[in-house]
Amino acid sequence: YSIGLEQDETYIPPGESLKDLIEQSQSSGSGSGLPLLVQRTIAKQIQMVKQIGKGRYGEVWMGKWRGEKVAVKVFFTTEEASWFRETEIYQTVLMRHENILGFIAADIKGTGSWTQLYLITDYHENGSLYDYLKSTTLDTKAMLKLAYSSVSGLCHLHTEIFSTQGKPAIAHRDLKSKNILVKKNGTCCIADLGLAVKFISDTNEVDIPPNTRVGTKRYMPPEVLDESLNRNHFQSYIMADMYSFGLILWEIARRCVSGGIVEEYQLPYHDLVPSDPSYEDMREIVCIKRLRPSFPNRWSSDECLRQMGKLMMECWAHNPASRLTALRVKKTLAKMSESQDIKL
């Protein structure tokens, strides 16, 4: 059986699922994912099934490894910095969390002149939160579940863990509904870490990725749009994430039915800027006019939506220092669920 293996492959016994392999490596290994040789072997054995998405970095495919579905992100050769960054962040110790997209493997396939950069992760058939909200209306429980699970993932990213293994604090820098995936059970996980920055408190250094790509204009906070963000201060990036998260809460809440009414799905600022807004468009609305997405009237007569409205306003405050932290939002959502008798 092992005759067919090449130099850089290793034997993975039949009957080992990806979950088994990852759990074994969590308990015995470095805590930062599968051994590289195992990753390469899995990558080589994947059959690409169909393209399920594309973006500025490349395309996403659904693939299969020994019958299990996986997602394969294939990066353009020009986006090597994004591939490298995302791979590096996923392999940070203690990164595994139920609300962060599960990393399986990364590999480079080269055929001389052509290089393919692969990132292999868990597959979630519901697709992104953006796709899901477009096609699905929510009740209070479903809304709180999406919001709470998303902020739990964000909270894990933002939190530095001090221990023998330890985990740096990480800011996402491109949070939007297209970069959050919805799992079968109606909870979310955060994806697309190609722009993330790490903070290691021992050295007090902010480790900014070398790639020039910046986030999505529509979700950029005022301090990024007017270039007042302090790039050497890690907390700036954390608070920038919270502004973007406020917009995501707005997208979710609009799709929650109350009094028999629900809004069509829309992107934030849909009524204020063109569909592919420029920096100038966004700066005028967000920084100069200081406008924010508006609330449907019906929210005022639903206690839960009223509280959600208050929460998003406290996330997208103009002043970064007044914004809520992910942990604060997580605690508030947990309290709201409790008062609604919802088990998260």
Task: Compare 344 and 50 and report the one with higher pLDDT.
Answer: 50
pLDDT of residue 1: 39
Q: At what angle do helices 303-315 and 326-339 cross, to 10 degrees?
A: 180
Alpha carbon 253 to chain centroid, angstroms: 19
Tell me the binding residues for ATP: 73
Helix (H, G, I), strand (E, B) or coil at 46: coil
Mean pLDDT in residue range 40-62:
90
Q: Give 112's contacts (C-beta < 8 A, 6+ positions apart).
A: none
| Whether 20 is catalytic | no
Residue 343 parent element (H or E): none
Assess contact for 81 and 37: CB atoms under 8 A: no
Checking if the pLDDT of 342 tops 90, the result is no
- Listing DSSP states for 181-197 in one string gives EE-TTS-EEE---TT-E
Q: Give 82's contacts (C-beta < 8 A, 6+ positions apart).
A: 57, 75, 194, 195, 211, 213
Assess contact for 233 and 206: CB atoms under 8 A: yes
Checking if the pLDDT of 152 tops 80, the result is yes
Q: Interior CA angle at 94 toward 27 and 335, to 5°?
A: 115
Q: How far apart are CA 45 and CA 65, in angstroms?
A: 6
Mean pLDDT in residue range 68-86:
92
pLDDT in tens, 173-202: 999 999 999 999 999 999 999 899 999 888
Assess contact for 310 and 295: CB atoms under 8 A: no
Q: How far apart are CA 276 and CA 274, in angstroms?
A: 6
Question: Tokens in use for 328?
Answer: 């604060």
Task: Compare 165 and 221 and report the one with higher pLDDT.
Answer: 221
pLDDT in tens, 204-255: 878 776 655 678 999 999 999 998 998 889 999 999 999 999 999 999 999 9
Q: In what order do the strands lie in the sheet with 205-207?
A: 169-171, 197-200, 205-207
Taken in order of first residue, the domains within the chain and their CATH numbers are 2-122 (3.30.200.20), 129-339 (1.10.510.10)
Q: How far apart are CA 231 and CA 139, in angstroms?
A: 40
Task: Compare 246 and 54 and report the one with higher pLDDT.
Answer: 246
Q: Are strands 169-171 and 180-182 parallel, antiparallel or unpaired?
A: unpaired
| Rounded percentage of the chain residues whose pLDDT exceeds 90 | 67
Task: Compare 74 and 36 and report the one with higher pLDDT.
Answer: 74
Catalytic residue among 174, 192, 241, 302: 174
pTM reported for the whole predicted model: 0.91
Q: At what angle do helices 18-28 and 36-44 cross, to 10 degrees?
A: 170
Cβ-based burial of 11 (10 A; exposed 0-12, middle 13-18, buried ≥19): exposed
pLDDT in tens, 264-323: 999 999 999 999 999 999 999 999 999 999 999 999 999 999 999 999 999 999 999 999
pLDDT of residue 3: 47
Distances (CA, A) of 24 to 27, 30, 34: 5, 11, 9
